[in-house]
Chain A
Amino acid sequence: MEILVCVKQVPDTAEVKIDPVKHTVIRAGVPNIFNPFDQNALEAALQLKDNQGAKVTLLSMGPPQAKDVLREGLAMGADEAYLLTDRKVGGSDTLATGYCIAQAIKKVTELKGIEKFDIILCGKQAIDGDTAQVGPQIACELGIPQITYAADLKVEGDTVTVKQQNEEGYIVTEAKFPVLITAVKELNEPRFPTIRGTMKAKRREIPELSADDVKADESKIGLSGSPTKVRKIFTPPQRTQGLVIPVEDDNYQAAVDTLMEKLTEQKII
C-alpha cells in the first residue's frame, strides 16, 4: 500500500497578535509549526504502516524552510519526503495550489516508479487559511474520489471505510483505491517523533521539485494563475466592551443580582 501525505508548514495562528494601535498583524516571532490536522493525516498513515505495512511518502509545497516539517514527519516515521518549492508557485490560491500539488504527486509517483498512490491523506484544512479546499481540489485534479472530515478509517484490501464527521454525527462512506482522505483531529492522536528518528531525519536529503520539474503549466499557477484575488486585508471589527461587574467582598449574590437586573431591564431574559 502506497500512501502519500500532504503536509504544510503554517504560522502558529494561536501566537499571532494584532498590534492594538496600528491594527496590523504582528507576524514577527510567530513560530512556524506542522499544521495540526496534517499531523493527524500522517498519524493515520503511520498506523497503516505499522499495522498493514504501508509505505508513507510526504509532500509539501512551500519555501525551503518547509523542510523542517518534512523532517519532523520523517522523524515520526514517514519513509520519504519531497518538497515542491518555487517562487513561481507563490501566491497561488486554492485552485492553483491544488493543481500544483496534483502535478507534484504525478511527478513523485513517476520518481518512485510506482503505478499510483493508493491513499492520499491531507489534514481537513490548514490553520492559516482554514479553507479546507486543497484536499478536494487535489482529488478533483487527479480524478479520484475524496472523503473529507475523516474521524475514523479502516482499510481492507483495496477498500477504505471512513467515518466522516458531519453536523448530525457521522456518515460512513466507502471507496476503492485510489482515494483522497482529509483528517480531523478526532481521527487519532499524533505520535511524537523519537529522538533517534529526529537524528536520522536531520541527515536526510529532501529532494526539491520546481514548477518545471512537475510540468506545471505557468498560466495555471501563482498569483496570475489564480482566479481569486485578494482585494483588501483588514483586522476584524471588535465588539465593544459592555458592563463588567466585579465581585466585591465575595458578595456574589450582589453581582448576580446586578446582572439579572440589567438582563431583565434590557429584556434579554
Chain B
Amino acid sequence: MDLAEYKGIYVIAEQFEGKLRNVSFELLGQARVLADTIGDEVGAILIGHNVKPLAQELITHGAHKVYVYDDEKLENYNTTAYAKVICDFFNEVKPNVFLVGATNIGRDLGPRVANSLQTGLTADCTGLAVDDDNKTIVWTRPALGGNIMAEIICPDNRPQMGTVRPNVFKKPEADPSATGEVIEKTANLTDADFMTKFVELIKMGGEGVKIEEADVIVSGGRGMNGPEPFTGMLKDLADLLGGAVGASRAAVDAGWIDALHQVGQTGKTVGPKIYIACGISGAIQHLAGMSGADCVIAINKDEDAPIFKVCDYGIVGDAFKVVPMLTEAIKKIKG
C-alpha cells in the first residue's frame, strides 16, 4: 500500500430527517485542524435521499469537497448499503482519513466499513492529533470504564478511521463566505446490498430537550431515592433553565428514568454549559460522560463523594432541600 496515494480527511456526515447532526459539524472543525497540520484537504460524504441541500452547510462549516450520494433507496439508514457506498467511495477517491460520529449509527457503520476495507478503527475518540514524525493521526480514547486513556495509531493501513464522541469538540462557527465543491455521485447498489429491512421509526420523548444537545442538564442519581424527582424537582429546575434531565447509571438501573437520559461511559456523553449533579456520587463511569461540561455544580449529602473533586461549585447537603431553593432563587433573578 502506497500511503502517499491517500489524501483527504473525510467526515462521514450523518443526517436525520433532513437535518445534519451536530457531531458532523464538530468533526468538520476537527478535520480542519488536522488537515491544516498535515497540509491536506477536508471533505465530507453525504448519504441519503433529498440531502443535496445540506451540502452547502457542510461547506460553510469547513468542507472543501462534499460527495453526495442521493438515492431514494438510501432514505433510511441501512448498514450494508451505506457501508457499500462508503467502500466504493474509498476505492475511487482514496481518502486518508474517515471521521465518523460515535452515534449509534456511526458505531454500527464504522466497524462494518473498517472490516470491509481491512483497516483499523478507533472507537469513541475524545481527542485527535497528528503524530509529528509520520503525520499519522493519533486517536485518543477512554478505556477500562474511563479509568485510562489510550493513544491509538493506525500506521500502515488506509483509511485511518475513528468514531468520535459527540459533544467533545465545539461546533465551528459557520463561514457563509466559504466555498467548496459539491460532487454528485451515483450509488451503485443492488437489492442484495440491503441485507436488512427498515420497518419503522419509533420516536421517544419527542418533546423536551435531548441531553446530547442541552445547554443545561440537571441530573439525578442514587440519592434521589425514587422516580418522583425526575419528573418533579429536577425537571422543574431543568425547565426553568431550558435544559434537560439527566441521570446516573444507578438511577437508570433502578428504573427511575429511561435509559435515554443516562449520562456516562455506558450512557451518553454530554457537553452542556452547566451540569447540575444531584445525589450523584460521581463514579468514574459517570464522570466519563460529563467531563465535557463547562461548569459542574454538585449537590450531595456525602462530603466525601468523588463528584466534589471535579465540580466547580458544590453544596454538601440534602438535594431535596437545595434544589427547590435553587429553583426559587433562579426564578427571582429571571423575574
Contact = CB atoms under 8 A, between A and B. Distances in A.
Contacts of A171: 76-77, 198, 200-202
Contact of B152 (A136, A144, A230): A230
Nearest to B79: A146
Contact of B333 (A17, A247, A264): A264
A173 B198 contact: yes
Contacts of B110: 133, 136
A95 B119 contact: yes
B314 interface: yes
Interface string B1-17: 00000000000000010
Contact of A252 (B156, B203, B309, B317): B317
Listed residue (A14, A137, A231, A262) with the most chain B CB atoms within 10 angstroms of its CB? A231
A84 to B, nearest CB: 18
Interface residues of B, number: 90
Listed residue (B260, B288, B329) with the most chain A CB atoms within 10 angstroms of its CB? B329
Given A174-B199, A228-B154, A260 B326 contact: yes
Given A140-B116, A245-B314, A256 B111 contact: no
Interface string A245-264: 11100001101110110111
Interface of A: 11, 13-14, 16-18, 25, 93-95, 98, 127-137, 139-141, 144-149, 161, 163-175, 179, 184-186, 226-236, 238-247, 252-253, 255-257, 259-260, 262-264, 266, 268-269
Contacts of A11: 144
Q: Is the interface of B mostly helix, strand, loop or mixed?
A: mixed
Contact of B105 (A166, A179, A256): A166
B150 A136 contact: no
B115 interface: yes
Contacts of B259: 165, 184-186
A252 B145 contact: no
Given A145-B196, A184-B259, 18 more contacts: A18-B147, A25-B148, A133-B107, A136-B111, A145-B195, A147-B196, A171-B76, A236-B291, A239-B309, A239-B311, A240-B310, A243-B313, A244-B303, A246-B316, A252-B321, A256-B326, A259-B315, A263-B313
B265 A130 contact: yes
Contacts of B143: 128-130
Nearest to A257: B329
B147 A149 contact: no
B144 A128 contact: yes
B112 interface: yes
A98 B114 CA distance: 11
Contacts of A175: 195-197
Given A252-B317, A262-B313, A140 B120 contact: no
A94 B139 CA distance: 15
Q: Is the interface of A mostly helix, strand, loop or mixed?
A: mixed
A228 B121 CA distance: 7
Q: Please name the 6 residue pairs, one residue from A and one from B, whose CB atoms are nearest each other, closest first.
A: A13-B145, A169-B204, A227-B120, A145-B195, A228-B120, A140-B115
Nearest to A236: B149
Interface string B42-86: 000000000000000000000000000000000011011001000
B312 A132 contact: no
B62 to A, nearest CB: 23
Given A186-B259, A247-B317, A252-B321, A242 B311 contact: yes
Contacts of A240: 310
Given A246-B316, A269-B274, A230 B150 contact: yes
Contacts of B83: 140
A232 B150 contact: yes
Interface string B117-144: 0111111100000010000001000111
A151 to B, nearest CB: 9
